[in-house]
Homo-oligomer: A and B are copies of this chain.
Amino acid sequence: MTDTVISSASKEVVIGFDRPFVLIGERINPTGRKLLAAEMAAGDYSRVETDALAQVAAGAHVLDVNAGIPLADEPAILAEAVKLVQTLTNVPLSIDSSIVAALESGLSVYKGKALVNSVTGEEERLESVLPLVKKHGAAVVAISNDETGISEDPDVRFDVAKKIVERAADHGIDRSDIVVDPLVMPIGAMNSAGVQVMRLVRRLREELKVNTTCGASNVSFGLPNRNGMNAAFLTMAIGAGMTSAITNPLHAEVLQAILGADVMMGHDPDCRDWIRKYREPAAEGQGGARERGGRRRRRG
């Protein structure tokens, strides 16, 4: 039973084995979004604002904030985005960058206990990100690849995760502050990807006793009806014990899969959130009901 606590200035969210699934909104990310990238680089954060509010209204419990724009001043932009989003909403943030200076810049302006996204098993990354995580008292997403890349062997990915957990302990970071991303392969390219992830999630939970997350939409890469496949993946991964995911709450099917899986896991007492969301079909898509609802209070 492991709880990973993250927070904003006024609100805690707990990722945990026996808790409702935590949905980390993925939208504030200029990767593959040319318009957003250009706007952010030019200091226009209006779309960041819209994306933040829409995701929280739809049911995101945490927001990922990424400012990875080629040739731009990523540390400065990430800090600006983090500051802005924290004025708009009280959900905790996942500060997302592949550049350590950007993580540091984002963390330096963040109010609360952030989720740092991410550290890998690469030596250089371990020794630059973990001290930062410790210094800021943050939690961190640990991605199970290393210098050799992403292994197709889930046992190797487990070993990489174990190495990160051990190294973090050397830095004084508890395993409860590590959320492992076991890495989800596109199932169209590797038919065993689903079974792999489920086994890996179970091992991470039972043997390594860590919470887990993933970029859920990768699984459906190249396939038609991606949201339908993402929904199947998330439902099954939650059944196997996955405790959070970085995904898009604005996709109705994805959100429904998560709410339904929470009911199935016994994490939505009396199906309150499900009933609130689906009682009136007219209210669907407005999302506000859930934000105002009891779920946040229970989760915190």
Contact = CB atoms under 8 A, between A and B. Distances in A.
A232 B191 contact: no
Contacts of A231: 231, 235, 257, 260
Contacts of A274: 223-225, 229
A159 B228 CA distance: 37
Nearest to A195: B266
Interface in A261-300: 261, 263-266, 268-271, 274-275, 277-279
Given A188-B270, A271-B187, A274-B223, A228 B265 contact: no
Most buried by B among A194, A198, A236: A236
A256 B194 contact: no
A264 B224 contact: no
A151 interface: no
A54 interface: no
A238 interface: yes
Contacts of A277: 225
A110 interface: no
Sorting the interface of chain A by its residue count into under 10, 10 to 19, 20 to 34 or 35 or more gives: 35 or more
Contacts of A224: 274-275, 278-279
A233 interface: yes
Nearest to A275: B224
A276 to B, nearest CB: 10
A29 to B, nearest CB: 25
A229 B188 contact: no
A129 to B, nearest CB: 32
A101 interface: no
B187 A228 contact: no
B264 A194 contact: yes
Given A223-B271, A223-B274, A239-B236, A192 B228 contact: no
A240 interface: yes
A240 B277 CA distance: 27
Interface string A193-204: 011001000000
A233 B264 contact: yes
Contacts of A191: 263, 266, 268-271
Interface in A229-267: 229, 231-233, 235-236, 238-240, 256-257, 260-261, 263-266
15 contacts: A187-B263, A188-B270, A188-B271, A191-B263, A191-B266, A191-B268, A194-B263, A195-B266, A224-B278, A224-B279, A225-B277, A229-B263, A231-B231, A232-B256, A235-B236
The 8 tightest CB contacts between A and B, nearest first, are A232-B260, A194-B264, A225-B278, A236-B239, A235-B235, A224-B278, A239-B239, A191-B266
